[in-house]
Chains A and B, each alone.
Chain A
């Protein structure tokens, strides 16, 4: 018995092993806690600011009303916004009735001839004919109704009493009309906003597929969405966002497909958003995302209406912001970032092949330099002999270890790419030649880098270009550097560790409650039809399981 016990004891490791095990256990715990505290710190700051601001804005909303007196009202407006050089006050006498009137508008935001023909001409001349029947103007309250019904042939017209409302609509391009004896102002809109024409989306070009892209005007974008197909189920809800400069935001979804909990969550997050100004849909994306610290995007931005509409049909939700051609699609899963609409437009075999190719390219964009470094610096036995010999020969006289060498080349490539975006278009190609050919060739000749690394880095760069989502490409580019550092310190072990780290992060990540790598990690076999493989269309009978849609079937 005692001998058995002593034998048992002999197998218990000494205290250093336990110590090491304990320390190793501490690492994930510490990382987890520090990330959590960092996360909550950011969230806390956000919410405290919001409270302060909301009290501010509530005081502002109780705006004053128009007094009803023509002269003092116009004077009030003049005081409020009359200092602006582009706000025009056009005073005239209404023909026939001989009462004073003022037209207030911002120059350049309306079609001038419409003002002339549809407002001024009618009020100054046509009203004269009318006055012969009536002799006198209707009394105060009936005047505005009379104007709307009989005189002004304008589609969008409404009465406004609130001064703040009035000021804002004038500055937004509406025309305000004051008439002596009318207690309120009439606001008409004859917008003549300068917009660009609808062009092909430049950030997501396709060979086959519609050439239409969103523009900066929200109403046009929603109209484009409506024009994708006739349905009464496409519902769009308007929100006003921005505390200081206000903008419209539209949440679009299919009301009989979308998961209602998801819709509720999106709406709630949008109403919670708090920012003085939303310059681009990226603001929205960053304010409603789940994990701020993740390198992966949690909203897909796209310029393509066809992409948006097919996402809506899968049960996702689109967020469109005024002033930007980029719509946001939430929730996002990882596979979406590597899919292109063309996968569906082409037949399923080329679609599948291209998609698998893209997965491979994404893997290479992430891992190729890390693998190269770990092979070169740690595991020379894993390289085929002939290649090993020629690498040794080529690397004779290269002064830096592979990690530093890789970082030099990868960073200079990133600089090149960044510079290429900034440069005016005619210089762009010249830049590519100087950067790519001359620097690459010369640095090999000078012996700073080895030609193999140039191949690896160039291959990585090309791979990262093949990813259809630009922002997903950036993510992989950032992570590539982390991978290189891991490989440089721990070799293949580090590379595998790095890959596992990314995998574990991705499995934990959620976008609006939908797991990020969902058909893979919460395993859903039905959704695999549209993951690596793009199944033939007749086989894709159901909407994605992961979206938990109201309607499961795609077919009637």
Chain B
């Protein structure tokens, strides 16, 4: 009786053991995360060329060079806290090929720990690559992959993308720094709201043109500088916008959360308007086949900095003058952007198309296939109202 019970128990355990599906545990210390991914046009790095010479090669076309930023660096044994600031916190490693997945797997022949993409924060694409290949092709794997989160942000770089990942101060990981810099959107609208993978997916699928934040870098430092335009139809990079243009896009879209407008008085000394709040209303007008837009921009702000020490900010007349100056400056900025969008590049990246599709969906259906061309002919009027509410806590 007892033996049979024991036999039954063994049988149960045996069945249980064969049933368990996944024994796929990977201890976290045996993994390495990559926080940043830089995509350049295919050009093997020196290390790679050396390795290739010795036979480390496989059949491939050199279309793309992917650099991943691995954190933390494998440092065996406990390192003392003091040298944490001096050694590099990351390891950048590049590989060239024609398939992103194959490249990522190729790292396994060079690294002892497998890389996982869960914690990928930023993807930087060089404009040269984006000029040659469409964004759809470049990012196809990233969008399909299950590990990589849709919250990952995409940037462009006019230089080499891998240099951006190199550029960092000691003790700092540039991928995380870039991600952190995005938060400064509310300090200045020169920093765009980041475009993450899921938004990018939607933009690419709807064939709309869009802008991505541009990053420039030196050996030691990096900076957000304007934006690159991706043409919706082709998915290629066609040109750049500078920092005031990025600000102007935010003004038109009504996404400004903070920042300043600087202008010069008649005496050619700077005065500064600090934005406290802003509202923007875009209206599409349709008359027959004619489409036109009107944008109403209203803002309240503070007269924060004044180099014109002769004039007294407490005087209403001076404030009204100042408001005019700032309005003029803003409309100049916007005009410059409109010229670039309508004449230079012939794209719409400020959300006019979206406005039309919401307000007049029937008209949108007719024009949406050739919207960028259509947009370059459409008149856009602006009504800008800046209001200075106060001049800070000093009278001078």
| Residues of chain A at the chain B interface (Cβ within 8 Å) | 23-24, 26-27, 30-31, 34, 37-38, 41, 375-378, 380-383, 385, 388-389, 391-393, 395-398, 401-402, 447, 488-491, 493
Contacts and interface: CB of A to CB of B under 8 A. Distances in A.
A393 B32 CA distance: 10
A380 B15 contact: no
A31 to B, nearest CB: 7
B8 A392 contact: no
B118 A381 contact: yes
B58 interface: no
B27 interface: yes
A408 to B, nearest CB: 15
Nearest to A488: B25
B265 to A, nearest CB: 47
B28 A389 contact: no
B33 A27 contact: no
Contact of B72 (A41, A389, A489): A389
A383 B25 CA distance: 15
A30, A37, A377, A392: residue with the most chain B Cβ atoms closer than 10 Å: A392
Nearest to A26: B15
A423 B360 CA distance: 82
B358 interface: no
B71 A381 contact: no
B82 to A, nearest CB: 15
A401 B25 contact: yes
Given A388-B119, A392-B72, A380 B12 contact: no
Contacts of B118: 380-382
- Give the interface size bracket for B toward A: 35 or more
A485 B9 CA distance: 19
A378 B24 contact: yes
B12 A385 contact: no
26 contacts: A23-B15, A23-B18, A24-B19, A26-B15, A27-B12, A30-B12, A30-B15, A34-B8, A377-B25, A377-B27, A378-B25, A378-B26, A381-B149, A382-B118, A383-B28, A385-B35, A388-B33, A389-B33, A391-B28, A393-B75, A396-B76, A397-B76, A401-B25, A401-B27, A402-B28, A491-B25
A387 to B, nearest CB: 10
A37 B8 CA distance: 11
Contacts of A489: 20, 23, 25
Among A376, A393, A402, the most chain B Cβ lie within 10 Å of the Cβ of: A393
A397 B19 contact: no
Given A396-B78, A447-B78, A385 B119 contact: yes
Contact of B147 (A30, A381, A388, A488): A381
Contacts of A37: 5
B19 A27 contact: yes
B74 interface: yes
Given A27-B16, A30-B12, A381-B147, A395 B33 contact: no
Contacts of A376: 27-28
A37 B2 CA distance: 12
Contacts of B261: none
A452 to B, nearest CB: 10
Contacts of A381: 116, 118-119, 147, 149
A388 B12 CA distance: 38
A376 B31 CA distance: 10
Contact of B28 (A38, A380, A490): A380
Interface string B32-50: 1101000000000000000
A489 B25 CA distance: 8
Contacts of B31: 380, 392
7 nearest A-B residue pairs (beta carbon): A381-B118, A395-B29, A377-B25, A385-B119, A380-B28, A376-B28, A393-B72
B176 interface: yes
B28 A395 contact: yes
Interface string B220-234: 000000000000000
B309 interface: no
Contact of A377 (B11, B28, B77, B116): B28
B121 interface: yes
Interface string B77-96: 11000000000000000000
Contacts of B32: 392
A398 B23 contact: no
B84 to A, nearest CB: 10
Contact of A388 (B22, B24, B28, B76): B28
Contacts of B121: 385
A493 to B, nearest CB: 7
Contacts of A402: 27-28
B167 to A, nearest CB: 20
A382 B119 CA distance: 9
B194 to A, nearest CB: 16
Nearest to B8: A34
Contacts of A388: 28, 33, 119
Given A30-B12, A381-B119, A398 B25 contact: no
Contacts of A377: 25-28
B16 A398 contact: no
B74 A34 contact: no
A380 B25 contact: no
Interface string B177-207: 0000000000000000000000000000000
B78 A397 contact: yes
B27 A34 contact: no
B12 A31 contact: yes
A378 B20 CA distance: 15
Given A30-B8, A385-B33, A385-B119, 15 more contacts: A23-B19, A30-B11, A31-B12, A41-B5, A377-B25, A377-B27, A389-B72, A391-B29, A392-B28, A392-B31, A393-B72, A396-B74, A396-B76, A401-B27, A447-B78
B34 to A, nearest CB: 11
Given A380-B116, A389-B33, A34 B22 contact: no
Contacts of B72: 389, 392-393
B92 to A, nearest CB: 16
Contact of A34 (B12, B21, B71, B176): B12
A455 to B, nearest CB: 15
Nearest to B31: A380
A275 to B, nearest CB: 24
Contacts of A392: 28-29, 31-33, 72
A263 to B, nearest CB: 37
Contacts of B21: 490
